[in-house]
Amino acid sequence: MLPPRIPRPRAADHGAGTVRGGLPVIAPWPVRVAGAEREGADAPMAVGTTVDHLTETYRAHYRSLLGLAALLLDDTASCEDVVQEAFIRVHSARSRVRDPEKTLAYLRQTVVNLSRSALRRRILSLKLLAKPMPDMASAEEGAYELLERDQLKAAMRKLQRRQREVLVLRYFADMTEAQVAQTLGISLGSVKAYGSRGLAALRVAMEATT
């Protein structure tokens, strides 16, 4: 395994580790944040966690965060920028992380918000990871495994933005409905409604492409 590299502040590291399927195998060390050295690696954050915990969470979940961004954006370089920017944002606002166990949730939510902003600025089409739709319960179970990636991408583009986000987080990021609600800042009932309507719309869109 290659040793991790330390990227410069606010610059994406495009060469960290071996690229497999468009995603770095090794997460880069998070960017250095001004003042972090003065605080010390083990200095307590304002509330409930440590700089070390944030850094370790970032490194442990780097690939899943990158994959989350990739489901909402269109290229690996932009995804890396978003994920590293998310680390900077959470580090800067770390006093809001009142529970260390919610550090990953804050990172995920920031990645989603930054991805949305990037899409609004660039107005580009969605590209999905080259990965089959995970199994879904009852009628959906196993059906999506037979679908071609291009058909799935075309069908996902036809969904409303919120429906697409709920399906991406629920079935690609493997979040619970409660985690999706927290990440998107909507109620649990809304997650269920968007998910149900999204699946129905996706099924209709998929049938139209066959």
Q: What is the pTM of this model?
A: 0.52
Report yes or no: 18 and 7 within 8 Å, Cβ to Cβ.
no
What are 50's strand-pairing partners? 44
196, pLDDT greater than 80: yes
Domain spans of the chain? Answer: 19-122, 138-209
Report yes or no: 17 and 25 within 8 Å, Cβ to Cβ.
yes
- Provide DSSP, the chain: -PPP--PPTT---S-SS-EETTEESSPPPPPP-TTHHHH-TTPBPSSS-BHHHHHHHHHHTHHHHHHHHHHHSS-HHHHHHHHHHHHHHHHHTGGG--SGGGHHHHHHHHHHHHHHHHHHHH-------S-PPPP-SGGGTTGGGGS-HHHHHHHHHTS-HHHHHHHIIIIIS---HHHHHHHHT--HHHHHHHHHHHHHHHHHHHHHH-
pLDDT at residue 209, as a whole number:
66
Higher per-residue pLDDT: 46 or 56 = 56
Distance, first Cα to last Cα, the chain: 43
User: Span 138-209: which CATH code?
Assistant: 1.10.10.10
Give residue-wise pLDDT tens across range 92-132: 877 777 787 888 888 988 888 888 777 766 543 333 444 44
